Amino acid sequence: MVSRRKPADRRISRAGRSGASGRFGGTRILLADESDIVRKGLRQILADPLPDAAYSEASDPGEIIRMVGEGEWDLVILGASLPGRGGIEVLKDIRKLRPALPVLVVSIYNGELFAIRALRAGASGYVPRQTTSEDIVNAVRKILAGGQFVTASLAERLAREINSGTETVPHERLSDREFHVFLMLAAGFTVKQVAGRLHLSPQTVSTHRARILEKMTMETNADFVRYAVQHRLLDDCYGPAGA
C-alpha cells in the first residue's frame, strides 16, 4: 500500500491510467540518474509494458539515498555515473540501507569491467545505456519477477572473465572511484577535466591519482596509458583505438 504521507510521494506520477491492470500493476520504480533526458527516456520505454507503474525521480546521490530511505520501492533504476559519486558507490549505500531492494544499473559503459563491479556490489542487473529498449524492458520484468539480468552478449563475456582463472590484476585493487579516475586519465583527460566531469575538486582527483600510482606501482600518466592499452581497458568506454 502506498503511504501518501511520505515526502517522496510528491514526485510520483503514473505512467498510464490508474485503472490499468497487469502483472506488475502498482509497481513503484525510482529512476535515479543525473540526466533528465535519460529519466524521461526510461519512462517512455516502460510506459506500455508497465502501464500502471508509478515513477519517482532523483538526480543526485543525496536525493537518491534520501528517497530510498523514505519511500517503499519495488525497483531502483540507477545510472552508473552520478555527480560527485559513482553509481556503484551509491549502490553500496543502497545495499546497506535496503539490502533486499532490487537495483538495475544502467551504464554508459558496454563491457564487463563495470558490470562485474556493479554485480559484486549487489546489483540485480546491468545494462549498457546503448542497449535496446527491449533489453531494458526484459531486465525490468525479470528483476521484478525476482530474477537477475545481464544482456546475452555481456553474459558470455562475464562467463569468460569468471572462468579465466587468472590472478587478481593491478586495476582490480582500485576502488570504484579510483578505477573511474584511472580510466579517464588513461584516456587522456587532464586532472581538471576529470574533476569537471565527475563533479570533484582538482585536489580530490590529484589525491585519487596519487593512490592509483601507489596501488599499481606506477610513476606517470604514461604508465596508465600503456597499461590500459595492454589490457584493452579503454575499448569498453571509448571504443577500440582508431575506431
pLDDT of residue 153: 72
Mean per-residue pLDDT of the chain:
81
Per-residue model confidence (pLDDT) at position 24: 54
In this predicted model, what pLDDT tens digit does every residue of 131-168 receive, in sequence order? 889 999 999 999 999 999 988 777 776 676 666 655 56
Query: Is the per-residue pLDDT at 223 higher than 50?
Result: yes
CATH topology (fold) of 7-162: Rossmann fold (3.40.50)
Predicted confidence band at 1 (pLDDT cuts at 50, 70, 90)?
very low
Residue ranges per domain, the chain? 7-162, 170-238
pLDDT, tens only, 36-90: 999 999 999 999 999 999 999 999 999 999 999 999 999 999 988 777 677 888 9
Residue 87 and residue 65 in contact, taking contact as beta carbons nearer than 8 Å: no
pLDDT, position 4 = 41
d(CA 62, CA 186): 29
Reading the block at residue 137, the C-alpha cell is 524492458
* Cα 94 to Cα 242: distance, rounded to the nearest angstrom: 39
pLDDT at 15: 40
pTM of the model: 0.69
3-class SS at 128? strand
Q: Which three cell numbers stand for residue 134?
A: 527491449
From residue 131, give the alpha-carbon distance in Å to each of 46, 69, 117, 152, 214: 14, 30, 19, 11, 36
Per-residue burial over 173-192, b if 16 or more Cβ lie within 10 Å, else e, is: ebbbbbbbbbbbbbbebebe
Sheet holding 125-128, edge to edge: 13-14, 54-58, 28-32, 75-79, 103-107, 125-128, 149-150
To the question of domain 170-238 being in CATH 3.90.1300.10, the answer is: no
